[in-house]
Amino acid sequence: MGGLAMDGYGAYVWSCFALTLAVFVFNEWRARVRHRSVYKQIEVRVKALEGRQ
């Protein structure tokens, strides 16, 4: 059992796991933001075109 201190390596080990979690969260967030942004752009254009017809 390593414990939180990890025999003096805690800062190295925990920072790596925290960074990994951050990378997953960042990727999920970026993908969602990109999808939402593209969807909104198309929605505005399509609805404007529909309104004109």
CA angle 21, 22, 25 (to 5 degrees): 85
* Least distance in angstroms from the C-beta of 47 to another protein: 7
Is residue 46 close enough to count as binding another protein by CB under 8 A? Answer: yes
Binding map of another protein across residues 1-40, x = CB under 8 A, - = no contact: xx---xxxxx-xx-xxx-xx--xx-xxx-xxx-xx--xx-
Q: How many CA atoms lie within 13 A of 31 on its CB side?
A: 6
Cβ neighbours of 14 (radius 10 Å): 13
- Residues that bind another protein in the complex, under the rule CB under 8 A: 1-2, 6-10, 12-13, 15-17, 19-20, 23-24, 26-28, 30-32, 34-35, 38-39, 41-43, 45-47, 50
